[in-house]
């Protein structure tokens, strides 16, 4: 890294912006990161053991997927106690140790918050279902049946089947957008909002630096329980009843904004806390803009532009970036190519014989985007989707919709630390999911020894982004030059960069009118100024 970049006047801008703006974040899926106690399941102590590895990547923060007390029917997104650690992951003391160790290494810690629903094993729901007049009777979404005994509305759950389950004790149905064991919280109720803010406060007091708020647009429903209209056939496969409806009334209620503003008011009372909304669905873009508009709402939103795309194209990238222009009142985007819910990108975006080259291009593209960038554990190694046989599936969605839904388990397999170890150095016993032979061959120890590995390239690129104000904070102009060539211009103050990508397996012409002058900061797959071989990409600091 050249020292001149660090000393430019533009670098001073980094001192005037929050730590999270332009940050690189590493998503840790604790079940699969590292197992410290040898039971086959990753844990918080294992995360702590791996912090040196994460810090060496050059990221600014880690995002921990749920580790709270849970029956694990949806692997922690069914919370039974918001303010404790599930025993399979350790204890609150283990969490405190992790926080201290992360902060000592200059890493911020972001944790998931699941406000739309709890587990049916949560004490709140246990009390709520006992009667219609107990103190928490209306903390969840309960409704009488229709005169014929059928559910109150036609709403469908994400995981298949009606979004309503009968409860004989109350003689009512309760709502659930996901599993029947994930009853919907009534977030319209101020007392429920107060309780959730108390949860946030609990973790803020323990030193967390931010929250990713799961399924935020599912957190409020239409109190009139109006039926959703049918969705027009768009030609895409429909694997669930959920796909047959326009989800107008089971989610996305306007009152969510008021809850968001309460969350932001709380986090603003602590120092430099980062708030990130997860928002999916047909109206995701407008909702993400709404949820991040102005200084009283969330800092950023986490969209699905890339997570389920079956191809990476210049048009896809330019549209995603154009949808988040810089301007007064506009929110700040966060991007991910992979996560725990989506198939691995290399398995979606390229043929097996092109994976190594495409992984290098993909890494350079991620660090070139305007916004925060999120690296999912194993992405820095080039992990691919593992084919999990039906009898080994853990994912409830995949089991329910087999074989039409690609299993989320295939993206949740354990991180391979050692190529020659029977269990990849992840554990000393049978891992909860198989690692996959392709991924074992990409183990950390093997890539550490190879200076040309994707792991070393990822470190180089993340370091470049961290120390280059144009890449981290600059405005962006994205141009789809052709169906295979993409150009990104980043600029802040008097500093500017240009990134050029050939997203295809054939050579491409250098974009007409684009200067090849400047300092090459990084290049992959044989790319040079004026020359774009298959999957070639280069990043140039322009001469002004």
Residues 455, 446: contact at Cβ < 8 Å? no
Residues 55, 309: contact at Cβ < 8 Å? no
What is the rounded distance in angstroms from the CA atom of residue 110 to the CA atom of residue 59? 13
Q: Which residues are catalytic?
A: 214, 278
Please tell me the chain's helix, strand, coil percentages from 3-state DSSP, rounded to the nearest 5. 30, 20, 50
CA dist 488 → 365, 493, 516 (Å): 9, 17, 14
What is the rounded distance in angstroms from the CA atom of residue 209 to the CA atom of residue 458? 24
Scanning the structure block, which residue is given the tokens 């030059």?
Answer: 481
Read out DSSP for 383-443?
Answer: -------GGG---HHHHHTTTTS--GGGGSPPP---TTSTTTTS-SS--SS---HHHHTT-
CA dist 69 → 103, 128, 339 (Å): 24, 19, 22
Q: Which of 504, 510, 513 is nearest to 528 (CA)?
A: 510
What does the buried/exposed string (b/e) look like for 453-469 if buried means 16 or more CB atoms within 10 Å of the residue's CB?
Answer: bbbebbbbbbebbbbbb
Cβ partners under 8 Å of residue 147, min gap 6: none
282 three-state secondary structure: coil
Give Cα 48 distance to the centre of its chain: 21
What is the rounded distance in angstroms from the CA atom of residue 189 to the CA atom of residue 298? 21
Q: Give me the phi and psi of 133, to 5 degrees please.
A: -135, 20
- Residue 438 φ/ψ region, left for φ over 0, alpha for ψ in the -120 to 50 degree band, beta for the rest: alpha
The DSSP output letter for 525 is: T
What is the rounded distance in angstroms from the CA atom of residue 46 to the CA atom of residue 42? 6
Strands (E), 274-404: 274-278, 300-302, 332-336, 372-376
What is the rounded distance in angstroms from the CA atom of residue 4 to the CA atom of residue 456? 22
Q: Which of 362, 416, 281, 380 is nearest to 536 (CA)?
A: 362
Residues 203, 183: contact at Cβ < 8 Å? no
């Amino acid at each position: 890294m050249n020292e001149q970049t660090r000393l430019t006047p533009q670098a001073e801008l980094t001192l005037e912006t929050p730590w999270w703006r332009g940050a690189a974040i590493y998503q840790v899926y604790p079940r699969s990161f590292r197992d410290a106690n040898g039971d086959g399941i990753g844990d918080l102590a294992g995360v702590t053991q791996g912090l040196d590895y994460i810090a060496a990547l050059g990221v600014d923060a880690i995002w921990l997927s749920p580790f709270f007390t849970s029956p694990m029917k949806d692997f922690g997104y069914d919370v039974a106690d918001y303010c404790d650690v599930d025993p399979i992951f350790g204890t609150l003391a283990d969490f405190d140790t992790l926080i201290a160790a992360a902060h000592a290494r200059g890493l911020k810690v972001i944790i998931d918050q699941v406000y739309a629903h709890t587990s049916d094993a949560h004490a709140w729901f246990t009390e709520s279902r006992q009667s219609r007049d107990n103190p928490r009777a209306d903390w969840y979404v309960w409704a009488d049946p229709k005169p014929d005994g059928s559910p109150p509305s036609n709403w469908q759950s994400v995981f298949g089947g009606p979004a309503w389950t009968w409860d004989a004790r109350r003689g009512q149905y309760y709502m659930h957008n996901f599993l029947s064991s994930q009853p919907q919280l009534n977030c319209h109720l101020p007392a429920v909002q107060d309780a959730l803010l108390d949860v946030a406060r609990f973790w803020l007091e323990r030193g967390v630096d931010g929250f990713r708020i799961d399924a935020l647009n599912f957190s409020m429903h239409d109190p009139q329980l109006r039926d959703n209209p049918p969705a027009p056939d768009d030609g895409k496969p429909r694997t669930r009843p959920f796909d047959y409806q326009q989800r107008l009334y089971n989610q996305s209620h306007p009152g969510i904004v008021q809850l968001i503003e309460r969350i932001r008011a709380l986090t603003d009372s602590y120092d430099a806390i980062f708030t990130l909304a997860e928002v999916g669905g047909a109206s995701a873009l407008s909702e993400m803009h709404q949820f991040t508009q102005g200084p009283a709402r969330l800092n950023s939103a986490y969209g699905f532009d890339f997570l389920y795309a079956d191809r990476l194209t210049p048009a896809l990238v330019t549209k995603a970036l154009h949808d988040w222009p810089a301007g007064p009142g506009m929110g700040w985007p966060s991007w991910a190519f992979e996560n725990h819910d989506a198939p691995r990108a290399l398995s979606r975006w390229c043929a097996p014989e092109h994976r190594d080259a495409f992984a290098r291009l993909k890494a350079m593209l991620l660090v070139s985007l305007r916004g925060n960038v999120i690296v999912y554990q194993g992405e820095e190694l080039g992990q691919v989707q593992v084919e999990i046989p039906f009898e080994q599936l853990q994912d409830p969605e995949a089991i329910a919709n087999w074989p039409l839904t690609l299993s989320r388990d295939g993206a949740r397999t354990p991180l391979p630390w050692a190529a020659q170890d029977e269990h990849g150095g992840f554990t000393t016993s049978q891992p909860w999911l198989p690692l996959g032979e392709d991924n074992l061959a990409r183990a950390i120890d093997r890539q550490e020894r190879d200076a040309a590995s994707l792991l070393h390239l990822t470190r180089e690129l993340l370091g470049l982004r961290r120390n280059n104000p144009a890449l981290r904070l600059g405005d962006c102009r994205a141009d789809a030059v052709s169906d295979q060539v993409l150009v990104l211009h980043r600029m802040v103050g008097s500093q500017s960069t240009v990134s050029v990508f050939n997203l295809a397996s054939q050579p491409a012409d250098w974009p007409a009118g684009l200067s090849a002058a400047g300092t090459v900061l990084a290049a992959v797959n044989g790319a040079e100024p004026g020359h774009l071989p298959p999957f070639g990409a280069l990043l140039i600091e322009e001469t002004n």
